[in-house]
Amino acid sequence: MTGNALRADCANCFGLCCVALPFAASADFAVDKDAGTPCRNLLGDFRCGIHARLRDEGFTGCTVFDCFGAGQRISQETFGGRDWRRAPETREAMFAAFPVMRQLHELLFHLTQALALPAAHPVHDDLRAALEETDRMAGSDPADLVRLDVAGHRERVSALLLRASELVRGKRGKNRRGADLIGAKLRGADLRAANLRGAYLIGADLRRADLRQADLIGADFRGADLAGADLTGSLFLTQAQVNAAQGDGTTRLPEGLDRPAHWRP
């Protein structure tokens, strides 16, 4: 599986994140929307009518969502290019399959990242086997997809990714896994090789913090200030996490991640 297959390709997706998933009126979304109901901003060609103005229009939540390529796989592979508008009989099955595929593709993304870590070589065979199994699961037909034990598989893969992380980080770094660091004052903090898996860093002050080789899988960076922070070499950081944060021209990101347009110069 190539890296491009794990990046969202909206041009080859039937707007599934705009239809299949629910959202509630909040700081992230301007309105309520039920699962299976098209967003009011979805156009006839499955594009977003306010894509360039999502933040201004109150849809910040859309800018921090990543399907990891699940949308185009469901649209073009699982359902063979039949879209839910012209083939309404696919709606229910397609919308049910999309969230499952999204979880599997997120695992594929992280497994691919782990396989690129030289220090994780001792578990590369296990990582490769997990990657192949996950891809096989993702190739299931729609009925089988929704019956998969994704939670159980995710738990097994998570343990393997943690082992890869430990091999890279060694015994250095603090263990702040799942920590409540909402609004924490961490300016200039030394968080090198820290375990920040699933940590709540919402609104945290991380200006000039050192996050090199930190394990950031599942960390919540919404509104966190990363101005001047160094995230080079950090583990399992995604574009969606970066998009959720604030930063500036001095923030250092891992290779392959883009500086969001809303960040300060």
- Asked if pLDDT for residue 3 goes beyond 70, the answer is no
Please tell me the predicted confidence (pLDDT) of residue 106. 98
pTM given for the model:
0.95
Per-residue HEC secondary structure of the chain comes to CCHHHHCCCHHHCCCHHHCCCCECCCCCCCCCECCCCCCCCECCCCCECCHHHCCCCCCHHHHCCCCCCHHHHHHHHHCCCCCCCCCHHHHHHHHHHHHHHHHHHHHHHHHHHHHCCHHHHHHHHHHHHHHHHHHHHHCCCHHHHCCCCHHHHHHHHHHHHHHHHHHHHCCCCCECCCCECCCCECCCCECCCCECCCCECCCCECCCCECCCCECCCCECCCCECCCCECCCCECCCHHHHHHCECCCCCECCCCCCCCCCCCC
Q: Is the pLDDT of residue 221 over 70?
A: yes
pLDDT of residue 142: 97
Q: What is the pLDDT of residues 9-37, one digit of tens each?
A: 999 999 999 999 999 999 999 999 999 99
- Structural domains of the chain in order of their starting residue, each with its CATH number: 10-168 (no CATH), 172-264 (2.160.20.80)
Percentage of the chain beyond pLDDT 70 is: 99
Predicted confidence (pLDDT) at residue 219 exceeds the cutoff of 90 = yes
pLDDT tens-place string over residues 161-210? 999 999 999 988 999 999 999 999 999 999 999 999 999 999 999 999 99
pLDDT tens digits for 99-158? 999 999 999 999 999 999 999 999 999 999 999 999 999 999 999 999 999 999 999 999
- Predicted pLDDT at 2: 61
